[in-house]
Structure 1
Amino acid sequence: MIESPGLIFTVIAFLLVLGPLVFVHELGHYLAGRWFGVHAEAFSVGFGREIAGFTDRRGTRWQFGWLPLGGYVRFAGDMNPASQPSVEWLALPTSERERTFQSKPLWQRTIIVAAGPAINLALAVLILAGFALAYGESRTPPVIGQVVAGTPAAAAGLQAGDRVRTIGGNAVETFDDIAAYTHIRPGERTTIAFERAGQPREAELQIGLRRERDRFGNEYRIGLVGVTAGDPVREPVSLLRAPLVGIERTGDIIGMMVETLGQIVTGRRSIDELGGPLRIAQVSGQQLSLGLAQFVGLVALVSINLGFINLLPVPMLDGGHLMFYAIEAVRRRPADPRLVEWAYRGGLAAVLALMFFVTINDLGAFGVWRGLAGLIG
């Protein structure tokens, strides 16, 4: 185990992760808005009081807020959080109103809102494509090289030389697919289909649980099968195929996020595993201390998280706006402004409650509550 990075190093690493990703996210909104002729009054990285900034020749104020946990683009006409037409908006001169967000047709507003999460996902695809170019692609066949005695694989009757075809009904193309499925499903029972000497077979598999600690002392619960691969195969990736690999890996990561969130909702995974800004900061410092490649990989992962979370249909998030735009498209008129207002109030309350909860979780992971209990006791 090595020492964890210091506080200053961790803060710097956190800002290097979150700051650029927030900027990229808001830049997506800004560029799409500018493309459709919407005036941006302010572009902020961070919330709260401005600590630095400047105004460009188009009248947009570019600024940094003192709380680096997000950002925003304030378009002309944004007189309420839901960007709904209002009395103040109707009172604007026609020339000014034409440059506002609300004046644009539904499809343009949809693109402007979706551009933020989309550019985060595109950045992750670009990073993962770069990794594929640099390090190649794992193509190890899903053939079992060895079965460890006393493990779930041994109990299921798997043997060396078996070729896995599906697990849990999911097609298996490479050995990595086995690990990707089982690592996030500790303790679950599933079905594994395989070939032995050319004959198809099937077995029930009870995925085991293994607790691992990394060099920083972080503990992880991962699924255990108890098989190893044969000789690893890593193939070079062409420039043309690299973007496809980046898209595939981004899709796989999103799929894992959906699965783990479902496990938390259904109680199969502890809610203690939910982390917030403090844990992201901790991991940022740790990954930066390991090297540039590990740190850039974390940036890709956080960028996917940022894009995915913002697409959830929660009012106050981009996905909430898109949800109401979908309703508008079906009804052929906007949703009732009072309904939208209350929905956004509820969305804000939900987001704040989640932030409070994950912060409590983070502090617990750092041992704060155990320390306080010791002092009180």
Structure 2
Amino acid sequence: MMAVPNILLAIFGFIVVIGPLVFLHELGHYFVGRWFGVHAETFSIGMGREVTGWTDKRGTRWRVSLLPLGGYVKFAGDMGPAGRTDPAWQALPEAEKARTFQGKPLWQRFLIVLAGPLTNFLVAIAIFAGFFAFYGVPQTPALISGVVEKSAAAKAGILPGDRIVTIDGRAISRFEELAIYVSVRPATPMALEIERGGRTIAVSATPGVREVMDDLGNPQRMGLLGVTPGLPIYERRGPIGIVGAAVRETVQTVRTMVDVIGQIVTGRRPAQELGGPIQIARYSGETVSFGLIAIIHFMALISINLGFINLLPIPMLDGGHLLFYTIEGVFRRPLPERAHDWAFRSGLAMLLGFMVFVTFNDLGSLGLWRTLAGLIG
């Protein structure tokens, strides 16, 4: 179990990492809504009772709430998480109704909701761009410098000097892409195309499994092909090249997330690897101890996670609202109120069930269940 100082560090790290990202996410909603002339009644960082706050000249109440878990922007005409319209909205004068969220065209409402997750991705791109501007863009060729004896690569017939062209049909241009792809697929057969002496050769390999401790001291199962790269290369690029590389890094991170989730859903990776707020707080606290650079990089990864999760088509999340708007756009009318309520309740049940599951995993990762088992035994 974590000691008291570690718990305090985890809480501090969680606030330092999650707080700014939630603020920027909600700020995306706020600014696009303001751009379209929607009045924001409340902008809250955290949930629950207000601790402190102020009201600006536009009439928006900016508040910091007691529980540092999430946040929200409440637009005029919107009743809250379910996205239902305030019944009093119909009685508003036209000029005032035009300043409400529901009074805007469908495409504007769509963009206001999309702005939150999109802001998270833009934050990650900005962070990666900053790293690449300072250190250079990693561009180590997917060229094999060495092959470990009796490794998966050796058994597949891969030789030093070979260049990896594709894995499972996915083009590989950098050794970094090869390492990421293989690391999240332990003991998973894969088809590779390699270039050797001007010829393209198809081989199959099944990466080995290696139990490792990551930088934060947490155990992980990683795939191991058994190849080594040449000397790392970091290219200096202009602004366009840096931004392009940052976008590519963000897309690569999302693809890796999708791959891992797919493995968990299909049973190829244990569901116990899913973490929740406690695990994020723990990682945040441990990352804080590594310094500013580690914190900023971790924030980029968490920002991508926030953007991705919020785009899932689950009611209550931004993705659920975007799904409703898409259906409304296709059929030229909104979902019936009964269907909307059913979707909201099922989405709420799904999210609560998921939170219980990942919290159970989090407590297990802290050793709680082993401790209780020892006490009972």
- Do Structure 1 and Structure 2 share a fold, with TM-score over 0.5? yes
Q: 1:284-308, CA deviations, whole angstroms, 9 ceiling, x for partnerless residues?
A: 1111211211110000000010011
Q: How far off is 1:86 after superposition? A: 4.9
Q: 1:81 to 1:232 in 2, by over 3 A?
A: closer
Residue identity in the other structure for 1:239: P
The SS at the match of 1:290 is: coil
Find the aligned partners of 1:81 and 1:90 in 2 and give their Cα distance: 20
Find the aligned partners of 1:98 and 1:138 in 2 and give their Cα distance: 49
1:130-149 to 2 correspondence within 5 Å? 130-149=130-149
Q: How far off is 1:191 after superposition? A: 1.1
Instruction: Tell me, yes or no, if structure 1 residue 319 matches structure 2 residue 313.
Output: no
Q: How far off is 1:239 after superposition? A: 2.2
1:48-197 to 2 correspondence within 5 Å? 48-79=48-79, 81-197=81-197
Residue identity in the other structure for 2:128: L
Q: 1:323 to 1:167 in 2, by over 3 A?
A: same
Aligned to 1:276: 276
Aligned to 1:7: 7
Aligned to 2:373: 373
The SS at the match of 2:145 is: strand
Find the aligned partners of 1:42 and 1:127 in 2 and give their Cα distance: 29
Q: Is the 8 A contact 2:82 2:344 kept in 1?
A: yes
Q: Is the 8 A contact 2:45 2:70 kept in 1?
A: yes
Q: Is the 8 A contact 2:78 2:86 kept in 1?
A: no
Find the aligned partners of 1:196 and 1:320 in 2 and give their Cα distance: 48
Residue identity in the other structure for 1:137: V
Aligned to 1:307: 307
The SS at the match of 1:99 is: coil
Q: 1:13-72, CA deviations, whole angstroms, 9 ceiling, x for partnerless residues?
A: 110111111100111111111111111110001111111111111111111111111000
Q: Is the 8 A contact 2:137 2:242 kept in 1?
A: no
Q: How far off is 1:376 after superposition? A: 1.5
Instruction: Tell me, yes or no, if structure 1 residue 240 matches structure 2 residue 235.
Output: no
The SS at the match of 1:192 is: strand
Instruction: Tell me, yes or no, if structure 1 residue 262 matches structure 2 residue 248.
Output: no
The SS at the match of 1:144 is: coil
1:283-294 to 2 correspondence within 5 Å? 283-294=283-294
TM-score (norm 1): 0.96
Aligned to 1:230: 230
The SS at the match of 1:202 is: strand
Residue identity in the other structure for 2:6: G
Residue identity in the other structure for 1:190: M
Find the aligned partners of 1:79 and 1:288 in 2 and give their Cα distance: 38
Residue identity in the other structure for 2:265: V
Q: How far off is 1:216 after superposition? A: 4.5
Structure 2 unmatched runs, 5+: none
Find the aligned partners of 2:53 and 2:4 in 1 and give their Cα distance: 34
Find the aligned partners of 1:331 and 1:216 in 2 and give their Cα distance: 49
Q: Is the 8 A contact 1:5 1:286 kept in 2?
A: no
Find the aligned partners of 1:82 and 1:101 in 2 and give their Cα distance: 13
Find the aligned partners of 1:4 and 1:167 in 2 and give their Cα distance: 46
Identity within the alignment, %? 52
Instruction: Tell me, yes or no, if structure 1 residue 31 matches structure 2 residue 31.
Output: yes
Find the aligned partners of 1:79 and 1:137 in 2 and give their Cα distance: 46
Residue identity in the other structure for 1:12: F
Q: Is the 8 A contact 1:276 1:359 kept in 2?
A: yes
The SS at the match of 2:240 is: coil
Q: 1:215 to 1:327 in 2, by over 3 A?
A: closer
Structure 1 unmatched runs, 5+: none
Q: Is the 8 A contact 2:147 2:154 kept in 1?
A: yes
Q: 1:242 to 1:5 in 2, by over 3 A?
A: farther
Q: 1:5 to 1:227 in 2, by over 3 A?
A: farther
Bigger CA drift: 55-64 or 211-220?
211-220
Deviation >6 Å, runs of 4+: none
Q: Is the 8 A contact 1:4 1:216 kept in 2?
A: no
